[in-house]
Amino acid sequence: MANVDYPEPVRALIIHLKQLPGIGPKSAERIAVWLMQQGQEMSGPFAEILARAGREVIECRICGFFATEAGGCAICDAVQREEVSLCVVEQPTDILPLERSGAFRGHYHSLRGRISPLDGIGPGELRIGELIERIRSGKFEEVIIALSSDVEGEATANYLAEVLAQFPELKVTRLAQGMPAGGGLESADELTLMRAMQGRTGI
Amino acid sequence: MANVDYPEPVRALIIHLKQLPGIGPKSAERIAVWLMQQGQEMSGPFAEILARAGREVIECRICGFFATEAGGCAICDAVQREEVSLCVVEQPTDILPLERSGAFRGHYHSLRGRISPLDGIGPGELRIGELIERIRSGKFEEVIIALSSDVEGEATANYLAEVLAQFPELKVTRLAQGMPAGGGLESADELTLMRAMQGRTGI
Protein backbone atom coordinates (compact mmCIF):
# COMPACT_ATOMS: atom_id res chain seq x y z
CA MET A 1 0.00 0.00 0.00
CA ALA A 2 1.35 3.42 -0.95
CA ASN A 3 2.03 5.76 1.94
CA VAL A 4 -0.60 8.40 2.49
CA ASP A 5 0.69 11.92 1.96
CA TYR A 6 -0.73 15.37 1.35
CA PRO A 7 -2.23 16.07 -2.10
CA GLU A 8 0.34 17.13 -4.68
CA PRO A 9 -0.45 20.89 -4.53
CA VAL A 10 0.22 20.87 -0.78
CA ARG A 11 3.47 18.92 -1.21
CA ALA A 12 4.62 21.41 -3.85
CA LEU A 13 3.82 24.27 -1.47
CA ILE A 14 5.81 22.61 1.35
CA ILE A 15 8.81 22.18 -0.96
CA HIS A 16 8.71 25.89 -1.81
CA LEU A 17 8.25 27.01 1.79
CA LYS A 18 11.29 24.95 2.86
CA GLN A 19 13.50 27.09 0.63
CA LEU A 20 12.71 30.24 2.61
CA PRO A 21 15.42 31.42 5.02
CA GLY A 22 14.87 30.14 8.56
CA ILE A 23 12.06 27.74 7.58
CA GLY A 24 12.75 24.05 8.30
CA PRO A 25 10.74 21.02 7.15
CA LYS A 26 8.48 21.07 10.24
CA SER A 27 7.72 24.79 9.92
CA ALA A 28 7.09 24.44 6.19
CA GLU A 29 4.54 21.69 6.81
CA ARG A 30 2.86 23.64 9.61
CA ILE A 31 2.61 26.80 7.49
CA ALA A 32 1.30 24.89 4.44
CA VAL A 33 -1.49 23.10 6.31
CA TRP A 34 -2.34 26.31 8.15
CA LEU A 35 -2.70 28.07 4.79
CA MET A 36 -4.90 25.24 3.49
CA GLN A 37 -7.08 25.40 6.60
CA GLN A 38 -7.51 29.15 6.15
CA GLY A 39 -8.85 28.47 2.67
CA GLN A 40 -8.70 30.36 -0.56
CA GLU A 41 -9.59 33.70 1.06
CA MET A 42 -6.10 33.65 2.61
CA SER A 43 -3.95 31.95 -0.02
CA GLY A 44 -5.43 33.77 -3.03
CA PRO A 45 -4.63 37.33 -1.96
CA PHE A 46 -1.33 36.16 -0.45
CA ALA A 47 -0.27 34.64 -3.78
CA GLU A 48 -1.29 37.82 -5.58
CA ILE A 49 0.73 40.03 -3.26
CA LEU A 50 3.74 37.75 -3.61
CA ALA A 51 3.49 37.77 -7.41
CA ARG A 52 3.01 41.54 -7.51
CA ALA A 53 6.04 42.17 -5.28
CA GLY A 54 8.17 39.94 -7.50
CA ARG A 55 6.87 41.67 -10.62
CA GLU A 56 7.06 45.30 -9.51
CA VAL A 57 10.02 45.52 -7.17
CA ILE A 58 13.30 46.35 -8.90
CA GLU A 59 16.79 47.37 -7.83
CA CYS A 60 17.21 51.15 -7.95
CA ARG A 61 19.70 51.83 -10.76
CA ILE A 62 21.41 54.52 -8.68
CA CYS A 63 21.68 53.27 -5.09
CA GLY A 64 20.70 49.60 -5.39
CA PHE A 65 17.87 49.77 -2.81
CA PHE A 66 14.48 48.19 -3.48
CA ALA A 67 12.35 50.40 -5.72
CA THR A 68 9.41 50.23 -8.13
CA GLU A 69 9.05 51.65 -11.64
CA ALA A 70 5.87 53.46 -10.61
CA GLY A 71 6.95 54.67 -7.18
CA GLY A 72 10.64 55.24 -7.83
CA CYS A 73 13.26 55.00 -5.09
CA ALA A 74 12.39 56.26 -1.60
CA ILE A 75 15.98 57.35 -1.05
CA CYS A 76 17.25 58.70 -4.39
CA ASP A 77 14.01 60.55 -5.12
CA ALA A 78 13.88 62.23 -1.69
CA VAL A 79 14.47 65.97 -1.93
CA GLN A 80 15.66 66.71 1.58
CA ARG A 81 18.58 64.33 2.00
CA GLU A 82 22.19 65.51 2.53
CA GLU A 83 23.65 65.70 -0.95
CA VAL A 84 27.30 65.59 0.14
CA SER A 85 27.39 62.27 2.06
CA LEU A 86 27.38 58.81 0.53
CA CYS A 87 27.20 55.63 2.60
CA VAL A 88 28.46 52.43 0.93
CA VAL A 89 26.85 49.17 2.12
CA GLU A 90 27.05 45.55 1.01
CA GLN A 91 23.37 44.80 0.50
CA PRO A 92 20.14 46.78 0.03
CA THR A 93 18.97 45.13 3.26
CA ASP A 94 21.70 47.03 5.14
CA ILE A 95 20.14 50.39 4.29
CA LEU A 96 17.02 50.35 6.49
CA PRO A 97 18.86 49.39 9.71
CA LEU A 98 21.19 52.39 9.19
CA GLU A 99 18.25 54.60 8.31
CA ARG A 100 16.40 53.56 11.47
CA SER A 101 19.42 54.41 13.61
CA GLY A 102 18.71 58.06 12.71
CA ALA A 103 22.44 58.95 12.55
CA PHE A 104 22.70 59.36 8.78
CA ARG A 105 20.56 61.31 6.31
CA GLY A 106 22.71 61.24 3.18
CA HIS A 107 22.62 58.92 0.19
CA TYR A 108 23.40 55.22 -0.02
CA HIS A 109 25.18 52.92 -2.42
CA SER A 110 24.71 49.17 -2.24
CA LEU A 111 27.62 47.17 -3.67
CA ARG A 112 25.43 44.07 -4.06
CA GLY A 113 27.99 42.04 -2.05
CA ARG A 114 31.63 42.16 -1.03
CA ILE A 115 34.91 40.82 -2.35
CA SER A 116 34.99 37.10 -1.61
CA PRO A 117 37.56 35.10 -3.61
CA LEU A 118 36.26 31.79 -2.22
CA ASP A 119 32.82 32.52 -3.71
CA GLY A 120 34.34 33.80 -6.94
CA ILE A 121 33.27 37.39 -6.23
CA GLY A 122 35.87 39.94 -7.27
CA PRO A 123 35.59 43.75 -7.62
CA GLY A 124 34.13 43.29 -11.12
CA GLU A 125 31.05 41.54 -9.73
CA LEU A 126 30.24 44.46 -7.43
CA ARG A 127 28.72 47.87 -8.16
CA ILE A 128 32.10 49.61 -7.76
CA GLY A 129 32.18 51.09 -11.26
CA GLU A 130 28.79 52.66 -10.60
CA LEU A 131 30.11 54.01 -7.30
CA ILE A 132 33.09 55.73 -8.96
CA GLU A 133 30.81 57.16 -11.63
CA ARG A 134 28.45 58.54 -8.97
CA ILE A 135 31.32 60.20 -7.11
CA ARG A 136 32.81 61.61 -10.32
CA SER A 137 29.55 63.15 -11.51
CA GLY A 138 28.13 64.07 -8.08
CA LYS A 139 29.02 66.53 -5.36
CA PHE A 140 29.88 64.13 -2.58
CA GLU A 141 32.36 65.37 0.01
CA GLU A 142 32.42 62.26 2.18
CA VAL A 143 32.07 58.54 1.51
CA ILE A 144 31.31 56.40 4.56
CA ILE A 145 32.24 52.78 4.11
CA ALA A 146 29.70 50.76 6.15
CA LEU A 147 30.62 47.15 5.44
CA SER A 148 30.61 44.15 7.75
CA SER A 149 33.48 44.06 10.26
CA ASP A 150 34.65 40.59 9.26
CA VAL A 151 37.61 39.60 7.07
CA GLU A 152 35.85 39.94 3.73
CA GLY A 153 34.22 43.22 4.72
CA GLU A 154 37.61 44.62 5.82
CA ALA A 155 39.26 43.49 2.59
CA THR A 156 36.51 45.14 0.56
CA ALA A 157 36.83 48.34 2.61
CA ASN A 158 40.58 48.44 2.04
CA TYR A 159 40.10 47.86 -1.68
CA LEU A 160 37.56 50.71 -1.83
CA ALA A 161 39.91 53.04 0.08
CA GLU A 162 42.61 52.41 -2.53
CA VAL A 163 40.24 52.95 -5.43
CA LEU A 164 38.81 56.13 -3.90
CA ALA A 165 42.31 57.60 -3.39
CA GLN A 166 41.89 58.90 -6.98
CA PHE A 167 39.62 61.60 -5.51
CA PRO A 168 42.03 63.64 -3.34
CA GLU A 169 39.27 66.05 -2.23
CA LEU A 170 37.05 63.21 -0.99
CA LYS A 171 36.96 62.35 2.68
CA VAL A 172 36.74 58.57 3.07
CA THR A 173 35.60 57.28 6.45
CA ARG A 174 34.44 53.99 7.90
CA LEU A 175 32.08 53.00 10.69
CA ALA A 176 33.62 53.11 14.16
CA GLN A 177 34.75 49.82 15.62
CA GLY A 178 31.79 49.90 17.95
CA MET A 179 30.39 47.21 15.70
CA PRO A 180 30.63 43.74 17.24
CA ALA A 181 33.49 41.83 15.63
CA GLY A 182 32.43 39.41 12.91
CA GLY A 183 28.87 40.71 12.85
CA GLY A 184 26.95 41.81 9.80
CA LEU A 185 24.96 45.05 9.57
CA GLU A 186 21.67 43.28 9.40
CA SER A 187 21.74 41.78 12.89
CA ALA A 188 23.08 44.86 14.70
CA ASP A 189 20.74 46.80 16.95
CA GLU A 190 19.93 50.45 16.32
CA LEU A 191 21.99 51.83 19.21
CA THR A 192 25.12 49.99 18.09
CA LEU A 193 24.61 51.24 14.55
CA MET A 194 24.08 54.81 15.75
CA ARG A 195 27.26 54.76 17.84
CA ALA A 196 29.24 53.24 15.01
CA MET A 197 27.92 55.89 12.64
CA GLN A 198 28.67 58.77 15.03
CA GLY A 199 32.19 57.53 15.84
CA ARG A 200 33.26 56.96 12.26
CA THR A 201 37.02 57.37 11.70
CA GLY A 202 39.36 58.28 8.80
CA ILE A 203 40.68 55.45 6.69
CA MET B 1 11.30 64.15 6.04
CA ALA B 2 9.30 60.93 5.72
CA ASN B 3 10.99 57.82 7.03
CA VAL B 4 12.45 55.60 4.36
CA ASP B 5 10.79 52.21 4.17
CA TYR B 6 10.51 49.35 1.70
CA PRO B 7 8.34 49.95 -1.40
CA GLU B 8 4.65 49.27 -0.84
CA PRO B 9 4.60 45.80 -2.49
CA VAL B 10 7.35 44.64 -0.13
CA ARG B 11 5.56 46.08 2.91
CA ALA B 12 2.35 44.29 1.87
CA LEU B 13 4.30 41.04 1.55
CA ILE B 14 5.83 41.48 5.01
CA ILE B 15 2.36 42.06 6.50
CA HIS B 16 1.12 38.81 4.96
CA LEU B 17 4.17 36.80 5.99
CA LYS B 18 3.76 37.97 9.60
CA GLN B 19 0.38 36.22 9.74
CA LEU B 20 1.94 32.80 9.13
CA PRO B 21 2.29 30.56 12.21
CA GLY B 22 5.74 30.85 13.80
CA ILE B 23 6.80 33.85 11.71
CA GLY B 24 7.60 37.01 13.69
CA PRO B 25 8.22 40.53 12.34
CA LYS B 26 11.99 39.96 11.94
CA SER B 27 11.53 36.66 10.08
CA ALA B 28 8.84 38.17 7.87
CA GLU B 29 11.17 40.99 6.85
CA ARG B 30 14.08 38.61 6.24
CA ILE B 31 11.95 36.29 4.11
CA ALA B 32 10.44 39.18 2.11
CA VAL B 33 13.77 40.78 1.22
CA TRP B 34 15.24 37.36 0.46
CA LEU B 35 12.37 36.73 -1.96
CA MET B 36 12.92 40.13 -3.58
CA GLN B 37 16.64 39.44 -3.93
CA GLN B 38 15.93 36.08 -5.59
CA GLY B 39 13.88 37.95 -8.18
CA GLN B 40 10.82 37.06 -10.15
CA GLU B 41 12.09 33.57 -11.07
CA MET B 42 11.52 32.60 -7.43
CA SER B 43 8.46 34.62 -6.42
CA GLY B 44 6.48 34.02 -9.62
CA PRO B 45 6.34 30.19 -9.46
CA PHE B 46 5.99 30.35 -5.67
CA ALA B 47 2.92 32.57 -5.97
CA GLU B 48 1.46 30.25 -8.60
CA ILE B 49 1.94 27.16 -6.44
CA LEU B 50 0.40 28.94 -3.46
CA ALA B 51 -2.61 30.06 -5.51
CA ARG B 52 -3.05 26.60 -7.03
CA ALA B 53 -2.93 24.87 -3.64
CA GLY B 54 -5.55 27.28 -2.30
CA ARG B 55 -7.72 26.76 -5.37
CA GLU B 56 -7.48 22.98 -5.72
CA VAL B 57 -7.18 21.63 -2.21
CA ILE B 58 -10.52 20.82 -0.57
CA GLU B 59 -11.68 19.02 2.54
CA CYS B 60 -12.62 15.39 1.76
CA ARG B 61 -16.39 15.16 2.26
CA ILE B 62 -16.02 11.75 3.94
CA CYS B 63 -13.01 11.88 6.26
CA GLY B 64 -12.13 15.58 6.33
CA PHE B 65 -8.50 15.11 5.19
CA PHE B 66 -6.96 17.33 2.51
CA ALA B 67 -8.03 16.21 -0.96
CA THR B 68 -8.41 17.54 -4.51
CA GLU B 69 -11.33 17.26 -6.92
CA ALA B 70 -9.06 15.75 -9.56
CA GLY B 71 -7.01 13.45 -7.34
CA GLY B 72 -9.65 12.53 -4.76
CA CYS B 73 -8.75 11.55 -1.20
CA ALA B 74 -5.60 9.51 -0.60
CA ILE B 75 -7.25 7.76 2.35
CA CYS B 76 -10.92 7.23 1.42
CA ASP B 77 -10.06 6.20 -2.17
CA ALA B 78 -7.42 3.65 -1.09
CA VAL B 79 -8.57 0.06 -1.76
CA GLN B 80 -6.40 -1.81 0.73
CA ARG B 81 -7.26 -0.12 4.01
CA GLU B 82 -8.94 -1.95 6.91
CA GLU B 83 -12.65 -1.37 6.41
CA VAL B 84 -13.66 -2.13 10.00
CA SER B 85 -11.58 0.44 11.92
CA LEU B 86 -12.29 4.15 12.15
CA CYS B 87 -9.97 6.59 13.89
CA VAL B 88 -11.52 9.91 15.03
CA VAL B 89 -9.15 12.90 15.18
CA GLU B 90 -9.59 16.62 15.84
CA GLN B 91 -7.90 18.03 12.75
CA PRO B 92 -6.89 16.80 9.29
CA THR B 93 -3.32 17.61 10.32
CA ASP B 94 -3.54 14.86 12.97
CA ILE B 95 -3.93 12.15 10.31
CA LEU B 96 -0.43 12.06 8.80
CA PRO B 97 1.40 11.76 12.16
CA LEU B 98 -0.77 8.71 12.99
CA GLU B 99 -0.28 7.31 9.50
CA ARG B 100 3.50 7.69 9.80
CA SER B 101 3.51 5.80 13.11
CA GLY B 102 2.57 2.72 11.06
CA ALA B 103 0.30 1.37 13.81
CA PHE B 104 -3.04 2.00 12.08
CA ARG B 105 -4.25 1.17 8.57
CA GLY B 106 -7.98 1.81 8.87
CA HIS B 107 -10.04 4.88 8.01
CA TYR B 108 -10.04 8.32 9.58
CA HIS B 109 -12.63 10.90 10.55
CA SER B 110 -11.62 14.47 11.30
CA LEU B 111 -14.04 16.34 13.58
CA ARG B 112 -12.68 19.74 12.45
CA GLY B 113 -12.07 20.68 16.10
CA ARG B 114 -13.20 19.72 19.59
CA ILE B 115 -15.82 20.85 22.06
CA SER B 116 -14.66 24.15 23.53
CA PRO B 117 -17.37 26.21 25.24
CA LEU B 118 -14.99 29.14 25.77
CA ASP B 119 -14.47 29.41 21.99
CA GLY B 120 -18.18 28.88 21.34
CA ILE B 121 -17.59 25.45 19.78
CA GLY B 122 -20.27 22.92 20.72
CA PRO B 123 -21.02 19.47 19.26
CA GLY B 124 -23.07 21.11 16.48
CA GLU B 125 -19.99 22.85 15.08
CA LEU B 126 -18.11 19.56 14.70
CA ARG B 127 -18.45 16.77 12.12
CA ILE B 128 -20.21 14.49 14.63
CA GLY B 129 -23.40 14.06 12.60
CA GLU B 130 -21.29 12.90 9.66
CA LEU B 131 -19.48 10.49 11.98
CA ILE B 132 -22.73 8.89 13.16
CA GLU B 133 -23.96 8.64 9.59
CA ARG B 134 -20.71 6.93 8.52
CA ILE B 135 -20.97 4.39 11.33
CA ARG B 136 -24.67 3.75 10.63
CA SER B 137 -24.15 3.12 6.92
CA GLY B 138 -20.70 1.50 7.15
CA LYS B 139 -19.31 -1.73 8.51
CA PHE B 140 -17.08 -0.37 11.24
CA GLU B 141 -16.46 -2.67 14.20
CA GLU B 142 -14.18 -0.37 16.17
CA VAL B 143 -13.95 3.40 16.58
CA ILE B 144 -10.67 4.66 18.03
CA ILE B 145 -10.96 8.10 19.61
CA ALA B 146 -7.60 9.81 19.05
CA LEU B 147 -8.08 13.29 20.49
CA SER B 148 -5.68 15.48 22.45
CA SER B 149 -5.12 14.40 26.05
CA ASP B 150 -6.03 17.78 27.52
CA VAL B 151 -9.27 18.89 29.18
CA GLU B 152 -11.16 19.79 26.01
CA GLY B 153 -9.98 16.64 24.22
CA GLU B 154 -11.11 14.49 27.18
CA ALA B 155 -14.48 16.22 27.30
CA THR B 156 -14.98 15.67 23.57
CA ALA B 157 -13.96 12.00 23.93
CA ASN B 158 -16.46 11.49 26.74
CA TYR B 159 -19.19 13.15 24.72
CA LEU B 160 -18.42 10.91 21.74
CA ALA B 161 -18.46 7.80 23.95
CA GLU B 162 -21.98 8.71 25.12
CA VAL B 163 -23.20 9.39 21.61
CA LEU B 164 -21.68 6.17 20.25
CA ALA B 165 -23.37 4.09 22.98
CA GLN B 166 -26.33 3.96 20.56
CA PHE B 167 -24.33 1.34 18.62
CA PRO B 168 -24.14 -1.58 21.11
CA GLU B 169 -22.14 -3.76 18.68
CA LEU B 170 -19.47 -1.09 18.22
CA LYS B 171 -16.21 -1.29 20.16
CA VAL B 172 -15.17 2.21 21.21
CA THR B 173 -11.53 2.66 22.26
CA ARG B 174 -9.19 5.52 22.93
CA LEU B 175 -5.45 6.04 22.59
CA ALA B 176 -3.42 4.72 25.54
CA GLN B 177 -2.28 7.25 28.09
CA GLY B 178 1.21 6.96 26.73
CA MET B 179 0.55 10.37 25.24
CA PRO B 180 2.23 13.17 27.17
CA ALA B 181 -0.34 15.02 29.29
CA GLY B 182 -1.67 18.23 27.77
CA GLY B 183 0.00 17.59 24.43
CA GLY B 184 -1.64 17.72 21.02
CA LEU B 185 -1.28 15.02 18.38
CA GLU B 186 0.63 17.23 16.03
CA SER B 187 3.74 17.63 18.17
CA ALA B 188 4.03 14.01 19.31
CA ASP B 189 6.85 11.87 17.90
CA GLU B 190 6.13 8.72 15.91
CA LEU B 191 7.22 6.28 18.63
CA THR B 192 4.94 7.89 21.20
CA LEU B 193 2.07 7.77 18.74
CA MET B 194 2.78 4.12 17.88
CA ARG B 195 2.82 3.09 21.56
CA ALA B 196 -0.35 5.03 22.24
CA MET B 197 -2.03 3.38 19.26
CA GLN B 198 -0.89 -0.13 20.26
CA GLY B 199 -1.90 0.28 23.93
CA ARG B 200 -5.36 1.68 23.23
CA THR B 201 -7.91 0.82 25.97
CA GLY B 202 -11.71 0.40 26.24
CA ILE B 203 -13.75 3.49 27.07
pLDDT tens, residue by residue, A70-110: 989 999 998 889 999 999 999 998 898 888 888 888 999 99
Residue A50 to residue B13, Cβ atoms within 8 A:
yes
Beta bridge partners of B142: B85, B171
| Kind of pairing between the strands at A201-202 and A142-145 | unpaired
Question: CB–CB of A176/A198 below 8 Å?
Answer: yes
CB-CB neighbours of A37 under 10 Å? 15
Q: Which chain B positions have a beta carbon within 8 Å of A21's beta carbon?
A: 30-31, 34
Q: Which of B5, B34, B40 sits opposite A20 (nearest CB)?
A: B34
Question: CB–CB of B27/A19 below 8 Å?
Answer: no
Residue A8 to residue B68, Cβ atoms within 8 A:
yes
Residue B169 has pLDDT above 70, yes or no: yes
pLDDT in tens, B62-109: 999 999 999 899 999 988 899 999 999 999 988 988 888 888 889 999
**A151 at B interface, C-beta within 8 A:** no
Q: Which residue of A has its CA nearest to B52?
A: A9
Angle at B195 between CA B190 and CA B201, to 5 degrees: 135
- Rounded CA-CA distance A92/A35 in Å is 30
**B49 at A interface, C-beta within 8 A:** yes
**B132 at A interface, C-beta within 8 A:** no
Which CATH code, of 2.40.30.170, 3.50.50.60, 3.40.50.880, 3.40.1360.10, is assigned to B84-175? 3.40.1360.10
Report how many Cβ contacts below 8 Å link chain A to chain B: 178
- Rounded CA-CA distance A184/A153 in Å is 9
How far are the Cα atoms of A109, A158, A183 from residue A151, in angstroms, in the given order? 21, 11, 11
Site from B4, B16, B83 to mutate, A interface, most A CB atoms within 10 angstroms: B4
**B47 at A interface, C-beta within 8 A:** yes
Q: Which of A16, A40, A80 sits opposite B49 (nearest CB)?
A: A16
- Rounded CA-CA distance B88/A61 in Å is 58
Rounded to a whole number, what is the distance in Å from the CA of B52 to chain A's nearest CA?
7
* Per-residue pLDDT in tens (0 to 9) along chain A, 203 residues: 457 889 999 999 999 999 999 999 999 999 999 999 898 899 999 999 999 999 999 999 999 999 999 989 999 998 889 999 999 999 998 898 888 888 888 999 999 999 999 999 999 999 999 999 999 998 999 999 998 877 898 899 999 999 999 999 999 998 876 676 666 777 777 777 777 777 776 67
**A202 at B interface, C-beta within 8 A:** no
Q: What is the domain partition of chain A in residue ranges?
A: 84-175
CB-based contacts of A116, cutoff 8 Å, min separation 6: A152
Give the residue ranges of DSSP H helices in chain B.
8-18, 25-38, 40-56, 95-101, 128-137, 151-164, 190-198
